[in-house]
Amino acid sequence: MKLLENKTAMIFGVANQRSIAWGITQKFHEHGARIALSYAGPALERRVRPLAEQIGAAFVHPCDVTQDDQITAIVEKAEAELGKIDILVHAIAFADREDLMRPFVETSRAGFKLAMDISVYSFVTLTNHFRKLMNPGGSFLTLTYYGSVKVAPGYNVMGVAKAALEAATRYMAYDLGPEGLRVNAISAGPIRTLAAAGVPGFRRMYKNFVEMAPLQQNITIEDVGNAALFLCSDMAAKVTGEILYVDSGYNVMGTPKPE
């Protein structure tokens, strides 16, 4: 059974074949969705175009989410080329590595603003811009990480940004509920991607994860794709404002298992 037949999904954040957004894209494609892709800037086009071709996606346009004119432009293109859409996936985050290298308390003002702008505000403004193109029952989805609720050393300003992103998910679920639109987040366990490579201590975190998690397995982009499929399909028609953990159960643990 295909869960996304006759639905159109606009996906932000495919950088390469390891991206979480690519795992989601493949799953949506498999389930019959028409896919539209947006990538950060010209440097990524070389990698994203061949991926788009693999799944027959005709709509492939850049959008740097820090630029209002680029957001307006992609909304206009989407309206012209796609008409209405049913799903928007936001898989975008960024923080200055310098700010991740020092204690969180020493985060610079500019670094704080940048992380919040790209990792949080972009979801708010994309949601606000695209809601007019959404069919009833439409769904917005973002990606977060457990460093939002507990300290993950090295995650620093990104953890604070993810806490804001999760709060934004709940506030937008409230705002958009009366329009019949849903807003959710997936909190994924660590996955080796380009963005993860920028987090100091990621390798240690990745290794410790398997030792601590009840399922004793790392997370794949396919796992996240499956959860995204559920949240963005009619199977989750009454689920909104939710943070769904896809983390082999890691978040339920309080202490590591005894030696």
Among 95, 195, 229, 236, binds ligand NAP (CB under 6 A): 195
The answer to whether the CB of 48 falls within 8 A of the CB of 55 is no
Phi, psi dihedrals of residue 91, rounded to the nearest 5° = -125, 60
Query: Is there binding between residue 115 and ligand NAP (CB under 6 A)?
Result: no
Total residues in contact with ligand NAP, by rule CB under 6 A: 26
Q: Would strands 243-246 and 182-188 be described as parallel, antiparallel, or unpaired? A: parallel
Q: Which is nearer to ligand NAP, 84 or 116 (CB)?
A: 116
Provide the minimum distance between the beta carbon of 143 and ligand NAP in the complex, in angstroms, as a whole number.
3
* Among 224, 220, 221, 196, residue whose Cα is nearest residue 210: 220
Query: Is there binding between residue 51 and ligand NAP (CB under 6 A)?
Result: no
Query: Is there binding between residue 145 and ligand NAP (CB under 6 A)?
Result: yes
Alpha-carbon dihedral of residues 200, 206, 211, 214, nearest 10 degrees?
Answer: 120
* Among 144, 126, 225, residue whose Cα is nearest residue 184: 144
Among 17, 66, 125, 208, binds ligand NAP (CB under 6 A): 66
Query: Is there binding between residue 154 and ligand NAP (CB under 6 A)?
Result: no
| Strand-by-strand arrangement of the 8-12 sheet | 59-62, 34-39, 8-12, 85-90, 134-144, 182-188, 243-246
Provide the minimum distance between the beta carbon of 248 and ligand NAP in the complex, in angstroms, as a whole number.
13
Provide the minimum distance between the beta carbon of 258 and ligand NAP in the complex, in angstroms, as a whole number.
27
Q: How far is CA 201 from CA 38, 153, 196, 208, in A?
A: 30, 8, 10, 11
* Among 77, 5, 6, residue whose Cα is nearest residue 38: 77
Query: Is there binding between residue 169 and ligand NAP (CB under 6 A)?
Result: no
What residues numbered 10-49 form the site for ligand NAP, per CB under 6 A? 13, 15, 19-21, 40-41, 44
- The interface region with ligand NAP, picked from 172-180, 183-191, 207-215, 248-256 by CB under 6 A, is 183-191
Among 3, 143, 227, 244, binds ligand NAP (CB under 6 A): 143
* Among 229, 218, 222, 172, residue whose Cα is nearest residue 19: 222
Contacts to ligand NAP by CB under 6 A: 13, 15, 19-21, 40-41, 44, 64-66, 91-94, 118, 143-145, 188, 190-191, 193-196
